[in-house]
Structure 1
Amino acid sequence: MTTIHYVESNTSHAGNFVVDVPVGYHWLLVLTKTPAQFWVDGELKTYPAHCAVIYRPNQKVYYRSSADQFVNDWIRFETNEPYITESPLPTGVPFALIDPEYCGKLFELLVIEHNNQRDYKHSSLDCLLRTLFNKLLESYFHGGELTPQYHNLLRLRTAIQNHPGDDWSVSKMAEYLQISTGYLQNIYKKTFGVSCMDDVINHRIRIAKEYLIHNTQSIAEISSRCGYQNVEHFSRQFKQITGHTPRNFQKLNSALS
């Protein structure tokens, strides 16, 4: 069971902000959105934005702003849940978040659930907190070095996944990140293991399959909706990836349903 005492999202403080609790208190999780200094291994160390740090009960807590402003998400709670108490995550030592926007959204939902009295409040809070700790584990065991452009690339990829039918091109994506097309293609593939345009195509075909199975629109309409200028181009790429023409794919899945 977990009891949340307080949770805040996107909280802003002045540049002189300091938290100093020599003997700690409850469990505390802090996600930074700006650079900050933390007391680690007997000295004050500076960490960049988008870090997470967990403090156990009765563990010394000291962190402060290292810029003109300090912005963070934080939650103070008590728990006996093994996924937290026995977690391999370090305590008192910040580590980089690989998906800070996702974690930030989870914090926003935690705030909403905590501040409202709803029938499934405790169950919802538990699910959100478990998901948050899964994301912390993913970050800690990520293994790769986060490039300066990593979080911008992640935002770009999320936009592609959410809107694959938009008019994407390498030049537009590079402009979105304000970098050269060559640099974009290089770091995108290094980061995600797929080229930026192949990623666009894969997500277009993924959503096209859904439309073909569960939608009454014509293939021409689906083609346009998925970002293709003509049906021939759509059909060619669809068959290249799935092994079927859109029409045959539709007929095959209609027979199976």
Structure 2
Amino acid sequence: MNQIYYIETDATHESNFVFDIPQGHPCWLLVITKTPAQFWVNGHLKEYPAHCAVLYEAHQKIYYRACGGQYVNDWLRFSSDETYISKATLPFGVPFALDDPEYCSKLFELLIVEHNFNRDYKESSVDCLLRTLFNKLLESYHHEGFRAQYYNLLKLRTAIQTNPGEHWTVSKMAQSLQLSAGYLQSIYKKTFGISCIEDVINSRIRLAKEYLLHNTLSIAEVAFHCGYHNVEHFCRQFKQFTGLTPGKFQVTNRNLPADSN
């Protein structure tokens, strides 16, 4: 069972802010920074960049402060006997970088809503959100590789999969991340196991299947909505990835969910 005592997002403090509790809280404290900050870690004051998470267990010394300017964070003080928290393989009192801080901040916002309103399924909703939040913390902590670029790569991949019909090119994607085209292709493939252009094509084909099976658009209209300006090219690429032409796929699978093909 989880109990939230207080939760806040975008808590803003002046440059002289210091949070110092030598004996710690009698419960858990989770802090996610949105600006650089200094933390007391292993007997020393160390500076950490923005978008770090730090989890304090009960009665653990807590000390952090602003770092040269305004300090902003999300924070959560809570108790829990859930093993996904008590047995989580996360460090206590040691900040680590978040892969997707925007996603975590949205989870904080949802937790605030659930905490502040006594809805019928409040307890289970809070549990689901906390489980998701701790999954994201674990993913970040155990993630290896291109940590500095990972968040931007994740945003790019989300944009591709959300809007596959956009005019995506390697040069355009690389420019958006201020990387060379060759370097983007290298780290994208190493990070996600697929090239950025393959991701674009897969996303377009997935969207095309949805339109073909659950819409009344013509094949030409489907091609246009999926980012193709040449119907013949769309048909060739669709068949290359599915083994069927769009028309044949539509006739054969009309009564099946698109993701089963």
Q: TM-score by structure 2 length?
A: 0.92
State how 1:126-141 maps to structure 2 within 5 Å.
126-141=127-142
State how 1:75-224 maps to structure 2 within 5 Å.
75-147=76-148, 149-224=149-224
Structure 2 gap segments, 5+ residues each: none
Conserved 8 A contact 2:28-2:55: yes
Conserved 8 A contact 2:146-2:191: no
Cα distance in 2 for residues equivalent to 1:55 and 1:256: 49
Cα distance in 2 for residues equivalent to 1:98 and 1:232: 40
Cα distance in 1 for residues equivalent to 2:41 and 2:59: 15
Alignment partner, residue 249 of structure 1? 249
Letter in 1 for 2:207: I
Letter in 1 for 2:65: R
> 3-state SS of the aligned residue for 1:229?
coil
Cα distance in 1 for residues equivalent to 2:89 and 2:182: 39
Cα distance in 2 for residues equivalent to 1:129 and 1:67: 32
1:4 aligns with 2:15: no
Cα distance in 2 for residues equivalent to 1:60 and 1:226: 54
State how 1:51-70 maps to structure 2 within 5 Å.
51-70=52-71
Q: Tell me the CA shift for residue 116 of structure 1.
A: 2.1
Q: Deviations over 1:40-83 (max 9, x none)?
A: 11111122222111111111111112231222111000111111
> 3-state SS of the aligned residue for 1:5?
strand
Would you identify which runs of 4 or more consecutive aligned residues in structure 1 move more than 4 Å? none
Q: Deviations over 1:97-142 (max 9, x none)?
A: 1121111111111112212232222221111011101111111221
> 3-state SS of the aligned residue for 2:16?
coil
Letter in 1 for 2:104: C
RMSD: 1.7
Cα distance in 2 for residues equivalent to 1:103 and 1:41: 26
Structure 1 gap segments, 5+ residues each: none
Cα distance in 1 for residues equivalent to 2:200 and 2:246: 18
Cα distance in 1 for residues equivalent to 2:202 and 2:180: 23
Alignment partner, residue 41 of structure 1? 42
Cα distance in 2 for residues equivalent to 1:88 and 1:176: 35
Letter in 1 for 2:120: D
Cα distance in 2 for residues equivalent to 1:222 and 1:121: 42
Cα distance in 2 for residues equivalent to 1:151 and 1:125: 26
Q: Deviations over 1:11-52 (max 9, x none)?
A: 222222211111111200111122211111111112222211
Cα distance in 1 for residues equivalent to 2:44 and 2:223: 59
Counterparts in 2 of 1:39 and 1:178: CA distance versus 1, 3 Å: same
Q: Tell me the CA shift for residue 256 of structure 1.
A: 5.1
Cα distance in 1 for residues equivalent to 2:20 and 2:66: 12
Letter in 2 for 1:24: G
Cα distance in 2 for residues equivalent to 1:235 and 1:12: 53
Cα distance in 1 for residues equivalent to 2:206 and 2:256: 18
Cα distance in 2 for residues equivalent to 1:198 and 1:145: 20
Letter in 2 for 1:180: S
Greater shift in the superposed pair: 184-193 or 20-29:
184-193
Counterparts in 2 of 1:157 and 1:118: CA distance versus 1, 3 Å: same
Letter in 1 for 2:222: I
Cα distance in 1 for residues equivalent to 2:44 and 2:117: 40
Counterparts in 2 of 1:67 and 1:189: CA distance versus 1, 3 Å: farther
Letter in 2 for 1:185: Q
Letter in 2 for 1:98: D
